[in-house]
Amino acid sequence: PYCVCRIAHCALRIAHRELRIANCERPSHIPLASRAMSSILVVADEPWILTDVRAALGEARYTITEINDPRAVAEAVIADPPDAVIVDFQVGSMGGMAVTRAVRDAFAGSEHSAPPVILLLDRDADAFLAGRSGAAAWVRKPFSSGDLRRAIDDSIAAPAA
């Protein structure tokens, strides 16, 4: 009896696997955005933040461009629109909320939609402000690689608002 049950169980697992393949079901653990190279613009004036983001996104599926001056972001996203923009909430003279609005305003009246902005927050309390600014997502520092990648992948995959 044990052998028959074991064989039946294995047969069911194989049938399920074949059904998934036949239906072209995408495994849930593979992010949608991992299939293509994503260009990411990182806006931060602290070297350790740039280092952490580079380390978290150290895979070949991301092309990373860094900007230290938040006032240059609007010009940069118009010249070469990235798939997503990552902004330190406490960046330079403008701050993350102002940078998020500058990115959105740069595409106002354009036929193209603004790239999603992901804010790197210092405190959980900043989440309210991040939401008010129109950011697509936010991650609290210190962040894990998985959290940052998930925020990017989800923001890129989401339809433009």
The DSSP annotation for the chain comes to -HHHHHHHHHHHHHHHHHHHHHTTPPPTTS-GGGGS-EEEEEE-SSHHHHHHHHHHT-STTEEEEEES-GGGHHHHHHHS--SEEEEETT-TTT-HHHHHHHHHHHTTTSSSPPPPEEEEESSGGGHHHHHHHT-SEEEESS--HHHHHHHHHHHHHSPP-
Q: How confident is the model at residue 27 (pLDDT cuts 50, 70, 90)?
A: very low
Residue 161 pLDDT: 53
Residues 103-121 have pLDDT tens digits of: 999 988 888 889 999 999 9
CA-angle at 52, arms to 49 and 56, nearest 5°: 140
Residue 28 pLDDT: 38
Distance of CA 3 to the CA centre of its chain: 48
- pLDDT of residue 51 exceeding 60, the answer is yes
- pLDDT of residue 12 exceeding 80, the answer is no
**Shortest CA distance to 38 belongs to which of 93, 94, 81, 102?**
81
Residues 32-45 have pLDDT tens digits of: 444 468 899 999 99
Is-contact 84 38, C-beta < 8 A? yes
Residues 55-97 have pLDDT tens digits of: 998 877 899 999 999 999 999 999 999 999 999 999 988 889 9
- pLDDT of residue 25 exceeding 70, the answer is no
Q: How confident is the model at residue 138 (pLDDT cuts 50, 70, 90)?
A: very high
Residue 29 pLDDT: 41
- pLDDT of residue 16 exceeding 60, the answer is no
Q: What is the pTM of this model?
A: 0.75
Average pLDDT, the chain: 81
